[in-house]
Structure 1
């Protein structure tokens, strides 16, 4: 096994805007993170992963960068960044930056110059087309709704934006653009940044023939994804970045939609020299119905086991993988995968057990360690995601969907659910700010917050700390082989982690009802000692029928370690 710091560590993802406001403007910032570094260190994590902190007008909350080598004004300045990085390293942690290199803001100097004339030096840094008559060059839609093309009145041509119209796509066929991007990444690496998570990385190449996409039933625009995602040229760009920018001490992560455990090796294969691992979207839609306002029952085997086991049992030459449930583009973990009402604490702990004992690098999204939930009482005016209002016009004002169902859908599926302020205490605005927050705090902050859970021995927070400490101690939970137990069980996800003679047995009841696990004959429970249980009694009182059957209570999870 090849030991790497980013394989053995546990990462903590921070959506900076929502973590801690230090200066009373209602927006989280770098100094707010500095204030909370000791808290983060107390979790036992080794890495901090920050969502974009570069200068931005915030059309898409930082994913529209107007200066790649400066800090967003609301977050601080380069001196604050230097102090933050120093503080992270002093605590023996590392920093991973989120970098957006598929597109820029339309307020970036390059794009401002590009719009001046077709002959401008920076014109070819972006993707332009004359269109067809008075229409865009094709029927492509965008991820945020509406057309993927926007007309520039000054030059009479359309520019491509597969996200917001304020996020024009960069033209990676241009060598000068690639050189500027490499120099920018070297700039941050030179400051001591330990790794990069690169947003929408598999969209760098586009089909420049601009064919029309298939218009699916009920859609207003053509399907653009086959022409902008995972095209062959992407691999050339990533190899170039790996060769010219990064060293073996860096971790290089890519966000890659449309990729799963069966084909991720095209990016992460050890011999490819492109990415160390990818962020996938396998668990994003679990529990979602055909309509966004409907939630359906989770099929444990199809929705979870097949995918998570698929990642865990890949040949390591195909690459490493992360283990995460939520991030800034999803909803809250316990609301989507657990029960955030009746079994809030137990299901949050069960999910933590699964994440921190599975194979791969765990990425804990801020607030998951206290079981933060969806903001299910938000009204339309409480949301901030720019795509919500574009789609409201398309869906509600057009009469396709009722206002009530649209709001129900947002309560279940909006990514703003995962962007509400960190719930530090039961004081006003959850202790996040003493001003009006940029987005409202979840109304349950008085019951769910850090201050309360730090005092409570059996809290979700302290359970996370216990599991992280166990993972940091047991290399079996990092490098151990993965072997599923009782695969066809529709209620329980169980597996062995095996490294040499050491074994760890993990058992998780995924639902709010009693369930039974049948052990195979090669597993003797007498060879194991119960290490962690998410019930307060923490007793191993569930064995019947000669150690072959284990009874589990609702959402019960257990971790056994062999004494061999």
Structure 2
């Protein structure tokens, strides 16, 4: 490693755990049914007891909330729904007083169409001074503007429909890879990049400790904007090859590092959300010698249970696929770079319902197993609010229960195509982002202690049994198991520094691997039974009678070979090899 470049494993965030807060659904202090900054501040002692090191806030900036705040209309203020800048400053100070750090969500692939930058770009016309801050193009030659097929290319939006909207005033289309109210910024314009850098420095001067960067690998587009391939039966083309890790992406990220983070007196955290990123690209982004990002969010493992119809085409997860995917990322970033570790976030359904078993018989045990497997990998774990309680998917019964733009657009599009309504609802029930956005379950009262008003989206009715108050009082709860896992990451160097070796990669029920730290001579064995049936396994040589480090079932007998794991049992053993 070159001089003055720290190895990722030696950085402060290598043995840290990040907790994501979705402010709208976390805690409401003023009874308007929407979570806010004061509500978060009032719950910091809970997060401190859990033991997490970093809080990541989903967007709290002013927004029309077409995409629940990921459509920002002012980068340097707080939406009145969530409070004020003074409320934010109090939250930040309270976080720091407890020895934790706070990371902001940075959404700079696009803004809201109500941002002053975009209104100036639109209203100034094709010759206006800020026209080139966004991506504008005339209609296809010979096509009537505003008619189907007249768009500059055939790309599909991530939220269904065309990725272009026609502006009648100026006679051109603007690009939006997401909602029509989320126009894409033109990162090829240096003035745009400089404005973003200034904004980022403003938040760092305020005291924030870094950024999680939303879809940051989409910011560089192929300037030719060519048509994408149209899948069979689809109306629009796939633009991904022309803007996922586009032609100047590494230039732009390296420039951001140089202009914003290089030489900063505090060691900050930078995490890039990157749909479609490969292991090879991630190594480049997270190689500390390149000075780009600290880690990336990749999406490979959360697409394994999707059929050819996309995310709402639900297929059972094959454990061998999950092991192959996570194992490939562990190996690929084992020598260079760093992994982020997550099963859940605001864009994913609840993991205990998705990869575990949320039935009463196995819910707690499978929630603990999933945590064990994830947290014992090499990388930095991310816990999404409520994951530490084993919160599950919501029992949505009709389209009226949903709030998310992606889900509503999908339902509208599929209904128009004549898809069976029950099939549409089943896909949404399993995969909608709203599963992650139901309110945090603090207690068993009417609205789960989230609000004294009417919540913006219904509370999961299972909160009467699954809630923080009950779990704090139960030493065998999912909460206290997470607390122990997090504490282990702080005290066991092998979890941070150890290498990773997958065992039994072709086994359909067993997830097993070892972690070994040559510096301390410590080795861990992780065994997890991903099934509702008992499982007998042969142990690697030398693990008989080894010490148990943590388990989701109290160990009643020494580890012997062969050994039978109970349904959804997970256990971690420790031994010294030198």
Match of 1:510 in 2: 530
Aligned to 1:464: 482
Contact 2:244–2:277 (CA<8 Å) still a contact in 1? no
Cα deviation for residue 472 of structure 1 reads 1.3
Q: CA 1:391–1:485 in 2, change beyond 3 Å: closer, same or farther?
A: closer
Instruction: Please state whether the residue corresponding to 2:483 is helix, strand or coil.
Output: helix
User: 1:561, CA displacement in angstroms?
Assistant: 1.7
Shift of 1:450: 0.5
Deviations, residues 135-166 of structure 1 (Å, cap 9, x unaligned)? 11111110001111101111111000010000
User: Among residues 527, 549, 558, which one is paired with 2:562 in the alignment?
Assistant: 549
Work out which of the residue numbers 431, 434, 440 in structure 2 matches 1:416: 434
Equivalent-residue separation in structure 2 for 1:127 and 1:215 (angstroms): 22
Instruction: Give the corresponding residue for 1:443.
Output: 461
> 1:496-538: per-residue Cα shift (whole Å, max 9, x none)?
21113111221111111111222233x3323x21122212x43
Q: Residue 165 and residue 294 in structure 1: after superposition, are their counterparts in 2 closer, same or farther (change >3 A)?
A: closer
CA displacement 1:369-395 (0-9 Å, x = unmatched): 000001133421111111222222221
Count of residues paired in the alignment: 555
Change (3 A) 1:392 1:186: same
Q: Does 1:47 align with 2:54?
A: yes
Q: Note the 1:323-472 alignment, pairs <5 A.
A: 323-341=341-359, 342-399=361-418, 401-472=419-490
Q: In the alignment, is residue 128 of structure 1 matched against residue 141 of structure 2?
A: no
In structure 2, the partner of 1:267 is 285
Helix, strand or coil at the partner of 2:300: coil
* Contact 2:314/2:427 (8 A) holds in 1: no
- In the other structure, the counterpart of 1:538 is 555
2:63 is aligned with 1:56: yes
Residues 297/478 of structure 1: CA separation in 2 closer, same or farther (3 Å cut): same
| Kept in 2: contact 1:12–1:49 (CA 8 A) | yes
Q: Distance in 1 between matches of 2:66 and 2:159?
A: 11
Structure 2 residue ranges without an equivalent (≥5): 1-6, 145-149
Higher alpha-carbon deviation: 164-173 or 498-507 = 498-507
Structure 1 residue 15: Cα displacement: 0.7
**Match for 1:139 among 147, 151, 154?**
154
Secondary structure of 1:54's partner? Answer: coil
Deviation at 1:563, TM superposition (A): 5.1
1:245 to 241, 257, 260: 260
**How far apart in 2 are the matches of 1:513 and 1:487?**
19
Which of the residues 234, 250, 274 maps onto 1:235?
A: 250
- Is 1:525 the equivalent of 2:538? no
Could you tell me how far 1:121 is from its partner in structure 2? 1.7
Conserved 8 A contact 1:19-1:32: yes
* 1:290 CA displacement: 4.6
TM-score scaled to structure 1, two decimals?
0.95
Q: Is the alpha carbon distance of 1:443 and 1:215 closer, same or farther for their aligned partners in structure 2, counting shifts above 3 Å? A: same
Partners of 2:447 and 2:303 in 1: how far apart?
A: 30
- In structure 1, list runs of 5 or more residues that go unmatched: none
